[in-house]
């Protein structure tokens, strides 16, 4: 089911308090779907991401600010935090905050817990508190974001989706959304990812290595057959 833009609940600490009526300044907003980007990164490189293969948030901040001109800027990372990982994620959260990102962290107590509606709620808050000039969404989740983002684009907001081209068909095919592959953001990764993009193949073609051994794949099929 497609989630919708609903008025969000503002945090008790006042972060995100709307501007006074008539004082809606132009805003460029970046929202980052941490669970989705992490999962899709694993899929496109065929391995668990390491510190060397994860995105550089400082470079992404520089790219985002450079495109904002004189508009106010705000960047927010939305994360699910499994209780068992709370300690290990603390340093990552503090690093994000030191790069200028706000972080919305929500406990992940059930397998299907997600933060997509929290992202949509915050976007909705910003459409009321500011003149939302540009919205940059880092997520390949078309199921929850395609319709709301296209609605925003129709209302006059420049909507940009940044994700991996392998998993963001909803944005690539949209006539209303601008798509950017995350690896095309200058400096986003310290070294090129171990992937070959079908939208940027060499003229002579390229070999795509398997991401699982042939024996392992055959073993899974055999076990499934019983």
Over 127-163, what HEC string results? HHHCEEEEEEEECCCHHHHHHHHHHHHHCCCEEEEEE
Average pLDDT over residues 173-185: 96
65 vs 51, higher pLDDT = 65
Q: Is 118 exposed, middle or buried (0-12, 13-18, 19+ CB in 10 A)?
A: middle
HSE (side-chain half, CA atoms, 13 Å) at 127: 21
Q: Across the chain, what does the average pLDDT equal? A: 86
Any idea which residue has 């962290």 for tokens? 105
H-assigned helices in the chain: 34-45, 57-66, 86-98, 116-129, 142-154, 169-172, 214-225
Reading the block at residue 1, the tokens are 């089911």
Q: Provide the pairing of β-strand 102-107 with 158-163.
A: unpaired
pLDDT exceeds 70 at position 5: no
- Residue 182 confidence class, pLDDT cut points 50, 70, 90: very high
Average pLDDT over residues 211-224: 90
- Residue 16 confidence class, pLDDT cut points 50, 70, 90: low
pLDDT exceeds 60 at position 165: yes
Question: For position 19, what pLDDT does the model report?
Answer: 47
User: What is the chain's length?
Assistant: 226
Q: Measured between alpha carbons, how far is 88 from 21 in angstroms, rounded to an integer?
A: 42
Q: Quick: pLDDT tens for 122-148.
A: 999 999 999 999 999 999 998 899 999
Question: For position 98, what pLDDT does the model report?
Answer: 95
Which pTM value belongs to this model? 0.82
Helix (H, G, I), strand (E, B) or coil at 36: helix
Question: For position 17, what pLDDT does the model report?
Answer: 55
């Amino acid at each position: 089911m497609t989630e919708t833009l609903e008025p969000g609940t503002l945090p008790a600490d006042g972060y995100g308090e709307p501007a006074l009526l008539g004082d809606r300044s132009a805003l460029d907003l970046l929202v980052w779907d941490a669970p989705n980007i992490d999962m899709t990164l694993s899929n496109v490189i065929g391995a668990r991401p390491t510190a060397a293969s994860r995105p550089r948030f400082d470079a992404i901040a520089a790219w985002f600010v450079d495109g904002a001109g004189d508009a106010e800027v705000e960047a927010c990372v939305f994360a699910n935090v499994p209780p068992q990982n709370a300690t290990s994620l603390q340093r990552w959260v503090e690093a994000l905050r030191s790069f200028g990102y706000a972080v919305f962290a929500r406990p992940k107590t059930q397998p299907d817990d997600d933060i997509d509606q929290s992202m949509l709620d915050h976007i909705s808050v910003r459409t009321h508190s500011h003149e939302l000039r540009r919205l940059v969404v880092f997520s390949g989740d078309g199921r929850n974001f395609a319709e709301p983002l296209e609605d925003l684009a129709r209302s006059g907001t420049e909507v940009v989706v940044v994700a991996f081209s392998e998993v963001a068909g909803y944005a690539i095919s949209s006539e209303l959304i601008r798509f950017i592959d995350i690896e095309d953001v200058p400096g986003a990764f310290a070294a090129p990812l171990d992937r070959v993009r079908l939208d940027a193949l060499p003229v002579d073609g390229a070999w795509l290595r398997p991401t699982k051994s042939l024996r392992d794949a055959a073993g899974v099929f055999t076990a499934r057959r019983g």
